Chains A and B, each alone.
Chain A
């Protein structure tokens, strides 16, 4: 009998779970001792869940029913009506309230004996000491940037002298009927940054197409979004969630489409383009979240082999569009990974580009995806985003050609306010 949350419960409640916790199986390790010790580790393990959205709601439910008792959850968002088709811990009456708080209270009420500590804010608000308290971290986020941040944080925290400092990171993501679940053992196996090219950003439409030769409804919407708003409502901050703003963009886009005889601009498409909406459904979230929690449970209990053991599979891709297809494989670590490797990454460039063009390309290249880079070589500062004095001093470089600034094969260091680390690139001139 144990007492928690004011309720006394016997293990009767965990009858089914206890079978796997207290009996060995054909794939369990020979040295594994099932029973009390496994159960007490599971109950004392501290797990951090990042994100209380579509995946996060599922993850909290699954962890609570996997026997974890000490769960923390971080999310900075409040509940929106379009969340209700999948984020099942929220009701119409919760719209506007913080997700982390509502989700934590709901699961605590439903599953007695579990403690869920919410934090309504950004992951960047927390420091190394905070992350050090957890046994593992599960990510259910749609933002690539936030995942890169936490990945770099966890890799940076590893202290070879202290095995406890290595926190398994389990990450899930979905889009429509597809998704992926992966396990990262920071510094030991391929990290999120090693795998960044699996998340190539959508190619941006060139500005001249938007400005002069639109052909698609999306071009008209992007024009309204990027150009018309700047020109006609300068000073107004565009709020993607304000229906008046979206309606304005929609009408602008519609008028432009008419001018060019383009059909297909709708309110829904406008919203989709402006907010970069990714289709999301409950069932895909259920699959990916449960896969993440299944791995978390196996890692915490050793009841069966788990994904992420070095030199074995660490990544599962799921696709449900055409029948069901999963691909489970080992993603290899990269020696030139800016986060967990020690070599500079090779980057092919056109030496005739200006520094500005090179900076623009960094945002789009799958292996970089840096939006506000500050660049320097060993000897000189190429461009600084801040402070203002340095920015001004380095600004003239933006118009210079790369061959005037760097030499073929030279290494540059790039930092970006979104990340704590420096990225090292070796620039290789294409068409010398």
Chain B
């Protein structure tokens, strides 16, 4: 089915030209979300380069607004590490100069700055309300992080908490307690869903039409029967010889593959047929019943999905409708995409239309359910059809992230590992884990809670890290981890090396590491704002010595 009206023949708009390379990743809808956003960067006592580098990577692709909060004035040492300052900036507000030099990167972006400390600003109760996402850069007093996170969690505003010290970088992400993603952009090769084990009448009719007379077809036609139809044809033959059962296990699938292989004609120079090769190649990956990913299962089992209310977000309304579809049919709505395969044009288009029509019907069934739910609950606005359609296409790959507060190390009393204690304790015993770096940074935060200006001191840091380790061990033991025969010598050595490296830099940022972390954080910000692809859950560590990263759920 070609679109009936040909599209207008003008070229792309100037915005489409400028953003061409990124629109290919997140499309107009993602771009719109970026343009509607307002990102707040809070710099406090440190050099603050990592946040500025993050903003650079957000201004370029065109976020709507950004605001920099930073009480500092530019000093000589800023010029050796921050690219968005120059000689002229010396003695001026750092927030103002960074804002000016960032804003000139993209005339579509509106920047703002506030040359005050966040502490004063938070006295205004609704200070945070204009912002769609917040970047907090350490060092910053724990008390303030706490206030910001609490407020943000109430409003569902995502918060990043960021460290960049020497060769180490860390960031944790606080997301709303339910953060669902429909457009996860799974790898197209892994998402092909052909339903070969559950053909419907129109599909079977096409097999009948194109493949029944396989043996009487000319060589050309025989070599161009789409592999999907070949597989369906041979499945029917197999079922006749196996009490109506499809191939069950690896052994049977291998036998089935042989059956298909024998059907290929070899009286040609290539010694085989490409469509049969495709069919043989697809046996193992396509002959299984459609199954939900565990991520999608989590969505359909979520409380929010089972108890839809008048005020539920549209995501949950659609999810509930798809859940009903799944319960009724033991399958998600058909996505409808058919991969390219050796075939004549008309046959391929016909096959494609059979899948498209079925996908359309599934979508309409879901849409009906959505409308019924809306009516029953007396919801005043109706969900956009396009949203329902997109959900149906990606239903098997939707993802739900449960946002959770990250650790704030404000006092010597340490932090509460909660139900992640066992996991973190395991990670500590793994010599390749980057958890020691995380403990080191928490120790620095604890130290700064007392005195932000004093140089770091090794014995204080080591005493904080050892109480962090002890706490973790205690909590893990309470949660049931065995601590009897665990030898933490290596972990403790690693922690003390981290501490030495942190003291070597004493709060200094290396431009390379801040630029690298700024890139990583900007990717995550884009994923969060566009609700496309899958952001981290919830803590990321990068080690610039070994050039490795690790994402831990803490």
Contact = CB atoms under 8 A, between A and B. Distances in A.
Interface of A: 7, 10, 12-17, 19-20, 23-27, 58, 61-62, 65-66, 81-82, 84-86, 88, 91-92, 109-112, 176-177, 181, 213-216, 243, 246-247, 250-251, 254, 257-258, 260-263, 266-268, 271-272, 277-291, 293-295, 297, 304-305, 307, 313, 316, 318, 320-326, 328, 352, 431
B257 interface: no
B523 A27 contact: no
A257 B7 CA distance: 13
A88 B83 CA distance: 11
B9 A247 contact: yes
Contacts of A213: 224, 343-345, 348
Nearest to B549: A326
A294 B500 CA distance: 20
A82 B516 contact: no
Interface stretch (B54-62, B246-254, B315-323, B364-372): B54-62
Contacts of B12: 267-268, 271
A340 B522 CA distance: 38
B22 A324 contact: no
B21 A91 contact: no
Interface of B: 1-3, 6-7, 9, 11-12, 14, 16-25, 47, 53, 56-57, 60-62, 76-77, 79-81, 83, 86-87, 104-107, 166-167, 184-185, 224, 269, 271, 340-341, 343-346, 348-349, 496-497, 500-501, 504-506, 508-513, 515-516, 518-520, 522-524, 526-527, 533-537, 540, 544-549, 551
Contacts of A272: 24
Contacts of B551: 323-325
B509 A27 contact: no
B309 to A, nearest CB: 31
Given A216-B340, A282-B57, A19 B508 contact: yes
B86 A15 contact: no
Contacts of B77: 12-16
Contact of A177 (B19, B81, B523): B523
Nearest to A292: B512
A24 B500 CA distance: 10
Contacts of B81: 16-17, 65
Contacts of A88: 56, 60, 105
Given A25-B504, A91-B104, A15 B80 contact: yes
B510 A16 contact: yes
B2 A257 contact: yes
Contacts of A10: 76
A321 B157 CA distance: 22
Contacts of A214: 345
A294 B512 contact: yes
Contacts of B501: 25-27
7 contacts: A13-B77, A82-B18, A86-B60, A176-B25, A243-B11, A247-B11, A258-B6
Given A12-B76, A322-B533, 17 more contacts: A10-B76, A27-B545, A62-B515, A85-B21, A111-B79, A176-B25, A215-B341, A260-B349, A261-B2, A261-B346, A263-B3, A268-B24, A279-B22, A294-B516, A304-B167, A305-B545, A322-B534
A99 to B, nearest CB: 16
A272 B19 CA distance: 13
